[in-house]
Every structure is written in C-alpha cells, then in structure tokens.
Chains A and B, each alone.
Chain A
C-alpha cells in the first residue's frame, strides 16, 4: 500500500498502459518465478497479466470495442429499418453521407467486379475504427478513474490495481485481430479467384520469373505476410503514440501551475490535431483493406 501515496510519473504511465486482463490468477512464489493458482480473475499487476499467457482476455478492450461496434450497428440498423427514398430524416441523411463516402472510396479503389462484401466491410472498418480511435479524445483519466472508483466501491478492491485502458485501438490485440480477419479474407479471395494453382504460381513466379523460384517464394511470402502486420501495427502504433502523448501531457498537470497551464494548451492543441489523426488512421485502415482485397482479385 506504499504505492498509494507515492505514485511516480513512471507508475502513472505504466498504469495507464495496462489493460484490464482476465485470466488464470498467478502468484510470484520466488522472485521472477510465477505459478498458476488455478483461480480465475483479473490480473492485479502488469507482471501478472503477462504471466497469464495467451489464454487471458483484455476485458476493457473487448467491452469497449463491442460496445462501440454495437452502437454503430444500432445506429445504422435503425436508419436502415426506416430508410426511404423520400425526403431523409437527419439521421438518415448522416448515415447516407457516410455510406456514400464509403461507396465512392470503394468504387475508386476496388476493381474486382461485383463483390457484396467489400463495401460493408469498408463501412464497418471505417466507422468502427473511427469510434475506437475517438475514445482517445476522452480525457485520459476520466474513464479509468471512474472504473477504478466504481470497482473499489462495488467489490472492495484496491483502485490502484484496477486497470482500464479506454482506447481499444491502442491494444495490439484489437488491431491485429482485425488485420488477421482482413488477411483471412485476402487469402480466401486469392484462392477463390485465382485458384490454388494460380495463387501458388503468383507466389513462386513473381517477380523474377521461374528461374529464381526460391527467391520469389521468399519475397512474395514476406510481401504477403507484411500486409496484415503493416495494417494492424500501423493503426496500433499511431494510436499508441497518440495516447502516450496525452498521458505525458497529463503528467504535467501535477508538476506546477505554469507547466499545468501549458499542459492545458498542449492538450487542446494535441486533441485538435488528433481529430485529424484518428480519422486519417481509420481511413487508411479502410483503404488499405480495400486495396489488399482488390489485389487478391487481380490476375497477373
């Protein structure tokens, strides 16, 4: 409980970067040696979360991303239910504006003929990623504090050991999960459109022709695998860095009055700039997805 009174800047930042992880509880028997307890629960430290291994889940990421996704689907579904070709309601107008924008982008980047999936996929990506990124604009301490205080009041746990990361897209699991789905779709369309032989031929005979087959396979496989990684890590990196800047600005508030007021200015400036970044990152994720799936449709 000594940490209650003396939270260093480093602790503050680490606390903010830790997800609320649910998994098999671990205890440190000796220094650096963790053993599972057989009980399931929330990790109370970053080390314990790491020790939980793969079969644990970041509850905050899942909760917020599904909440935001459901919000988005609820909005578009409620519009879709009452949609009419007559004079649109304001909500319908907004939904149509978004959909027209997505549709134009898809038409501009996708040349693979008729595909029922790409446009709804692009819409889901753009709006969902945008909403997840948008959580970045909520003041960094607001939701984590609320959750920590709420948990402490309801379950009597130490609020300093309740972690809550507000922006799902600063969790590599979220961005890589989406990128993996996109990767799966790329593979699916590659096999479907080109056939197994065609796809393998593309991997083996490009770009240097059949006499350099091993080099081709290495190059093409790397190219192929780089796509989901670049997709997922670009979004993660941008959002993580943006979140980090917000956290660093937030640490200035407690320094002094001068630094604190400077931090206020900085935060407003960075938030305004960040509006651009979150939109741009959502757009980039969407456009790259369209382009990758379009590439999967192309014969060489």
Chain B
C-alpha cells in the first residue's frame, strides 16, 4: 500500500489504452452503428414507399380491371348488335334472292309452257288430220281441210 512509481506506470498505461481506444476501437464501431442506423432508416423509408406504391398499383389495377370490364361489356353488346344486324341482313338478302330465283323460275316455266303450247299447237293439226284420216279410212283432200283445221287450231 505504498505510493510508488506504479502510479506513473499506471497513468502511462491508462493514456496508451485511451489513445488506442480513441484511434482504433471507437471510430470504426461507431461508424458501423451509424451505418446500421442509416440502413434501417432507409429500409423503413423504402418499405413505406413500397407500401404506398403497392396501394397506388392496386388502385390502378382495380381501375384497369374496371375499364376492361366496361370495354368487354361494350364489345359484347356491340358484337350482339352486329350479329343481329348480320342475321337481319342475311335474312333480307335471302328473301330477295329467293324472290329473284322464284321470278326467274316462274318466267322460265312460262316460257317453257308457251313453247310447249306452240309446239302442241303446231302438231295438233297434223295429229288430228292423221287421226281423222285413220278414222275415215279414206283419202281426204289435205288442202281443202287444212284451212278448216287451222281455224280450229287457232280457237284452241
């Protein structure tokens, strides 16, 4: 328990330890602590920002979905309208086409009938004559009766 040079030695050791601590220990660890603080603050801010952005994105997505739905509805109704139109149009054109086919067929039929009538008309005299000649069994003056038959034919 004597005061001796240990006092000085201890003071020097103490000073050396303080110097070492001040130079090589405190600054790097403090730096790391500050860095971590900053990192955490940045991370929290980024998280906040991310959350905000996500909210915005969700809102935007909802809007897009809404718009898409509206558009889809519009397209569907348009398509329905267009479909109805097409059906109507095709119905109309079919009717017109049908009518056209019908009239042309009718005209053809009429033509055919007329032609047949003409042919019949042209052959009926000779057939009648031949028939009459067979029935009468005798020769008839072709010339004298042709006029009579012509008149008959024209009356048919």
Contact = CB atoms under 8 A, between A and B. Distances in A.
B20 A53 contact: no
A84 B33 CA distance: 8
A3 to B, nearest CB: 20
Contact of B28 (A19, A55, A80, A119): A80
A132 to B, nearest CB: 10
B10 interface: yes
Given A80-B24, A120-B21, A124-B21, A17 B1 contact: yes
A107 B10 CA distance: 28
For chain A, the bracket of interface size reads 35 or more
B61 to A, nearest CB: 35
B22 interface: yes
B15 interface: yes
B56 interface: no
A259 to B, nearest CB: 28
A117 B22 contact: yes
A266 to B, nearest CB: 25
B8 interface: yes
Given A77-B24, A80-B24, A80-B28, A62 B2 contact: no
Given A56-B5, A57-B4, A177-B14, A85 B32 contact: yes
A182 B31 CA distance: 26
Given A80-B28, A83-B32, A181 B4 contact: no
B2 A50 contact: yes
Interface string A207-242: 000000000000000000000000000000000000
Nearest to A58: B6
A105 to B, nearest CB: 14
Given A19-B1, A124-B21, A128-B14, 9 more contacts: A18-B1, A52-B2, A55-B4, A61-B10, A62-B6, A85-B39, A120-B22, A123-B21, A181-B15
20 contacts: A18-B1, A19-B6, A21-B2, A54-B4, A58-B4, A80-B29, A81-B28, A83-B31, A95-B29, A117-B22, A119-B30, A121-B18, A128-B14, A172-B3, A173-B3, A173-B6, A173-B10, A176-B10, A177-B7, A178-B11
